[in-house]
Amino acid sequence: MLNETNFLVPTSYYVILSALLFTLGVIGVLVRRNAILVFMSIELMLNSANLAFVAFARAFTDLAGQVSVFFVITVAAAEVAIGLALIVAIFRTKHSIDIDELHEMRG
């Protein structure tokens, strides 16, 4: 059984790390122009969320958080498959994966 009292590392540490990782992901998404790096930043954000899930799951001794993480990992895997396929397709047409080159939708 998991117990609050025998935690070596407090839950808040995990949450702060998760927030830091998420922030790094956000900054990566916002500042990076390389599609691969943006993609990796998104993965970082997803995994930071996963970290928060498992941290709270342990803290509240509730397995629902763990289950959610599996779902997220599954979705992320699918996303990676589609996302990389898109990036390959974009590269084939544009010969570049700079996402700022993709602004045909400008109003």
Residues lying near other proteins in the complex (CB under 8 A) are found at: 26, 29-31, 33, 38, 99-100, 102-107
Q: How far apart are CA 87 and CA 1, in angstroms?
A: 45
* Cβ at position 55, least distance to other proteins in Å: 19
> Cα dist. 31→6, 26, 50 in Å?
41, 9, 23
* Cβ at position 26, least distance to other proteins in Å: 6
Q: Which is nearer to other proteins, 37 or 76 (CB)?
A: 37
* Cβ at position 33, least distance to other proteins in Å: 8
Q: Which is nearer to other proteins, 35 or 69 (CB)?
A: 35
SS3 34: strand
Are 50 and 59 spatial neighbours (Cβ–Cβ below 8 Å)? Answer: no
* Cβ at position 27, least distance to other proteins in Å: 10
Are 76 and 48 spatial neighbours (Cβ–Cβ below 8 Å)? Answer: no
Q: Which is nearer to other proteins, 8 or 30 (CB)?
A: 30
Q: How many CA atoms lie within 13 A of 47 on its CB side?
A: 11
Q: Which is nearer to other proteins, 12 or 61 (CB)?
A: 12
